Amino acid sequence: MASLISHLTQAQQKELMNDLNYLNMQEIKTFCRHHGLPLHIHAEYKKNVLQKTKELDRKGVVLDRVRQYLKTGKVPPPSVIPNKMIAQNLPKEIRPETHFLFGLYKNRDANSLKVLKQVTKGQFQFGALAQELSRELWVQGKKITFSAFGKLWLKENMNPSREHPEWAFLTDLSTGSVGRDWKSLRQQKAKKVMAELKRISAATKRS
DNA sequence: CGCTCAGAGTTAACGCGACT
DNA sequence: AGTCGCGTTAACTCTGAGCG
């Protein structure tokens, strides 16, 4: 299947892609379910066997998938955590040289926090960045230690090399373009995008 | 300076219904 | 009866602004 948005002009396509950032997760989920786009992260608990986890992909990841789908008409595969990144047996104690694996680290986990505080001179905090980094490492299959993760977190925290256009509110906030009417602005944009997506739904069902 | 607020995303926890 | 998935909810974090 070809692009689902070829009837739009280049400028309109670009606007649509950009305004997807203004959708909230609920709206995105609805669209994904309609079209069978994967929302959950899958894990390879056993070699070559994929299992859906309870973990939901982060907004940026899901949006990328939506964009790809709109452009190509193909349903992209889900995120997968490879077998080697999954903790098979949990160590009693986490140390700086312990490998940073799925199932071992969790946000707000006291043991993880202790070690990460230790290797970052007390600066580490659980938050969106920690979540983002950990997911990325797991899915990409980069096996590193807690110590290395802490350093990576520090680096990203000091000078963020990545942008988060999908966090529309925070992005607008940092550019100072948030006014009293931001909420209605978001709804306006979201409504427009949803209307366009709905048209696509109808078109794909006909074919 | 520290506190609270806004509005967003994410998680864990909870409850409900479907299914076995 | 027990389990699983799904949807909702409360609590947390993020940022800059506003206030005492």
- Per residue of chain A (207 residues), give pLDDT as tens: 578 888 889 988 888 888 787 777 767 776 776 677 777 777 777 777 777 676 777 777 778 888 888 888 887 887 888 888 887 777 777 888 888 887 777 655 667 777 887 787 777 766 667 777 787 888 888 888 888 888 887 777 766 656 666 666 666 666 666 665 666 677 777 777 877 777 775 566 544
Residue A173 domain-assigned? no
CA distance A108 to A117: 12
Residue A72 domain-assigned? yes
Element (H, E) at A81: strand A80-81
Strand B lies under 7 A from the Cβ of residue A64? no
CA of A128 to C1' of B8 (A): 12
A49 and A89 part of one domain? no
* Closest to A146 (Cα-Cα) out of A74, A95, A89: A95
A89 and A122 part of one domain? yes
- CA-to-CA dists, residue A20 to A66, A164, A187, A189, angstroms: 9, 13, 12, 8
A102 and A49 part of one domain? no
A41 and A92 part of one domain? no
Nucleotides of B under 7 A from a protein CB: 7-12
A103 and A71 part of one domain? no
Which residues 6+ apart lie within 8 Å of A196 measured at CB?
A5, A8, A16
CA distance A144 to A54: 23
Amino acid occupying residue A185: L
Residue A174 domain-assigned? no
A128 and A67 part of one domain? no
A36 and A101 part of one domain? no
CA of A173 to C1' of B17 (A): 41
Nearest-CA residue to the C1' of B10? A128
Q: Structurally, how many domains does chain A consist of?
A: 2
A91 and A53 part of one domain? no
Question: Which structural domain range is residue A24 located in?
Answer: 10-83+180-201
Strand B lies under 7 A from the Cβ of residue A65? no
Nucleotides of C under 7 A from a protein CB: 5, 7-8, 13-17
Say what the pLDDT of residue A207 is. 43
